[in-house]
Amino acid sequence: MYYGYSILCFLVLKYAGADVRNYKIMFDRVIVSSLDPEIFEKLDIQVVEAHNRSCIDATQILNKRVTKLMIRSVLDIWKSNSQHMRLFDMTYNWCDLVQQLNKNRLLKTYAVAVQKFANIDPKCPLEANVTLRVRNMYFDEQDLPSFMPLGRFRCLFEYSIGQKIRARINLNGRVIAWHNGK
């Protein structure tokens, strides 16, 4: 589901608040695996180029109503010198997260991006047979940390119901030097 992917991208990009950003986030590849057809009718996520940046297009349709979706999100960065850093490894309940989006400052940027680029406002519980589409989603660098280490990143999202993984999403990308498009 694109939720975890979006949260991961958001967390990669959010932690400070200076005026100038000297980096740009580039999404290179996304792979969806371990997709459980009992839960997902469709889960399609692609990296696209739009508006001179990498963006995410996603479509999700569930086969059944989901009231408790656990998401494990892992963000790893390999700096330009190949030094590995794990920025986070956390598990959360999507429904709890949705209810606290407006209260949690860290996730506010994510909520704004989803609302801006989605055809519907995703709520909990997640309903069956509802098409959630996100088109050309990106995060405005001005809403992100003032500093990010340059290098490669990998975001892993594992969606579980009960003890079973129902989908796994791997997003790979880069943090590159950028000088306001100059």
Nearest-angstrom CA–CA distance, 31 and 27: 12
| Mean pLDDT, residues 66-80 taken together | 91
Would you call the peptide bond into 125 cis, given omega within 30 degrees of 0 as the criterion?
Answer: yes
**Tens digit of pLDDT for each residue in 9-18?**
555 554 434 4
The average pLDDT across 4-12 equals 51
* Average pLDDT score over residue span 115-129: 87
pLDDT bin (cut points 50, 70, 90) of residue 138 is: confident
- How far apart (Å, rounded) are the C-alpha atoms in residues 23 and 181? 10
What number is the average pLDDT over the span 134-139? 90
Mean of the pLDDT values across residues 9-34?
72
Determine the average pLDDT of the residues in 36-42. 97
Cα–Cα nearest to 14, from 147, 120, 112: 147
In degrees, rounded to 5, the angle at the alpha carbon of residue 82 between the alpha carbons of residues 155 and 157 is: 10
Q: What is the pLDDT of residues 42-60, one digit of tens each?
A: 999 999 999 889 999 999 9
Q: Is the pLDDT of residue 25 over 90?
A: no
> Which of 93-102, 103-112, 131-140, 154-163 shows the lowest per-residue confidence on average (mean pLDDT)?
103-112
